[in-house]
A and B are shown apart, each in its own frame.
Chain A
Amino acid sequence: MRYFKKVLAITVKDLLLEAHTKELTPAMLVFSLIVIVIFNFSFEPGMQNSDIITPGILWIAFVFAGMLGLARSFAEEHEQESIRGLMLAPVDHSAIYLGKTLSNLVFLFCVEIISVLAFGIFFNINIFPILPGLAVVLGLATPGFVAVGTLYAAMASNIRLREILLPVLLFPIIVPVLIAAVKITGSVLQGQPLSDVSGWLNLLAAYDGIFIIVGVLTFEYVIEE
């Protein structure tokens, strides 16, 4: 219980910081919207098989926006040299990892919710009937991405070429999340029940579990002042 209080303290610290500066989330959101719009240009409007393409656009937007947020999540700590304080705090380093993962998750969820609404308007899709399905796929796919992303962001936070290396290292790892999320979203957009894609949902849940454990176990090795 104590442990989770510490985790939450770190998350709340990040959320408070973001509430005051309002830097990261708006930038992520604008970027996500731009990706959706840009991708829209590369396909003919009213294309026959837009159902196949739209879930992909949505997830590319989320992953790119998420990447921006992840890259910043430790950069800030290094620039302000607050990472030393965090590491000296009397908590297990895995608590820092979980706290950071949670705050990154909250940021990305905010971006995703607003993007989905905008997406519904742009692509003329009535998203209200399919909101529960979308909530499930966002709720299952995002934690896995953010869990492995936070671990990799910590690794890349103070190495050379980090802006390039973070996506290069992270994208191949999250391929399963991307495939599963696109599949489920496509099925949800076509109004099919979630039971049709239960295999994919299990895969996402397994991915989330595995990479949260990997992150908790290995984070202390990659965090550095």
Chain B
Amino acid sequence: MKKIDIAVFVLGILTFLAISLSLYMAFIYTPLERTMGAVQKIFYFHLPLAWIGFLAFFIVFLGGVLYLITGSIKWDNLAYSSAEIGVVFSTLVLITGSIWAKRAWNTWWTWDPRLTTMLILWMIYVGYIMMRNAVDNVERRAKISAVIGIAGFVDVPIVFMAIRWWRTMHPLLITSKGMGLAPSMLTALFVSLGSFTLLYVYLLLIRVRLGLAMNIAEEIKIRLSDKL
């Protein structure tokens, strides 16, 4: 085994342990929330998922910028890998958010700024992935991806501001979710944030290596077809 294989393996084990710990803390260690009951447990996953969503899309932005500066395809590979993970995580954010909203606010969906921003973000990066499937030329695909990744991420704060103002002009049915967290809940939340970040890094590593392997396979295919 190469060094990197061992590192990935160890990271996988660590991630598994960390996520197990988060599960324990979320379901057993923390007390039941008084008003919301068991559904509040979603919180320990919902928030870390959202954090990973934003982090992943930031890495897409960063990968795009680095690709445009250096022209090295590895940054495009990083950006795309991160976009895929980001879409999975933000899908989960929307689903867990919906479940929580149904229980807490008695509605599957509300046009809350955070929810709506997440939805727009999700649409931007689903478009990003669709676009990648429509372009065959590797270099052109990387360039377009980089620009969409940059424009999409720059757009996020503006979207959030616009949606927040848009909502405040209407009578708000649901005000801020503000809740005082018990110390044990806060600990559980931070453990969960940490372990999900580990999970993200682990998935990203695997996905980046897969992308590199796919590039190599593509090259070999081209070389073979030249020889035939």
Q: Which residues from chain A sit less than 8 Å from chain B, CB to CB?
A: 148, 151-152, 155, 159-162, 165, 168-169, 171-173, 175-176, 179-180, 183, 199-200, 203, 206-207, 210-211, 214, 218, 221-222, 224
Contact = CB atoms under 8 A, between A and B. Distances in A.
Contact of B127 (A165, A200, A210): A165
Given A173-B151, A179-B166, A221 B159 contact: no
* Majority SS at the chain B contact face: helix
A165 B134 contact: yes
A222 B130 contact: no
A11 B150 CA distance: 27
The size bracket of the interface on B is 20 to 34
Given A160-B135, A222-B143, A175 B154 contact: no
If over half of A's interface residues share one DSSP class (helix, strand or loop), that class is named, otherwise mixed; here it is helix
A221 B154 contact: no
Given A171-B123, A172-B124, 6 more contacts: A169-B131, A173-B151, A180-B162, A199-B165, A203-B158, A222-B144
Contacts, number: 86
Nearest to B126: A168
Contacts of B144: 155, 159, 222
A118 to B, nearest CB: 27
B159 A175 contact: yes
A162 B135 CA distance: 10
Interface string B123-158: 110011011001100001001101110111011001
27 contacts: A155-B147, A160-B135, A161-B130, A165-B134, A168-B123, A168-B127, A169-B127, A169-B128, A171-B123, A172-B120, A172-B124, A172-B127, A173-B152, A173-B155, A175-B159, A175-B162, A179-B162, A180-B162, A203-B162, A203-B165, A207-B158, A210-B154, A218-B68, A218-B146, A218-B150, A221-B68, A222-B143
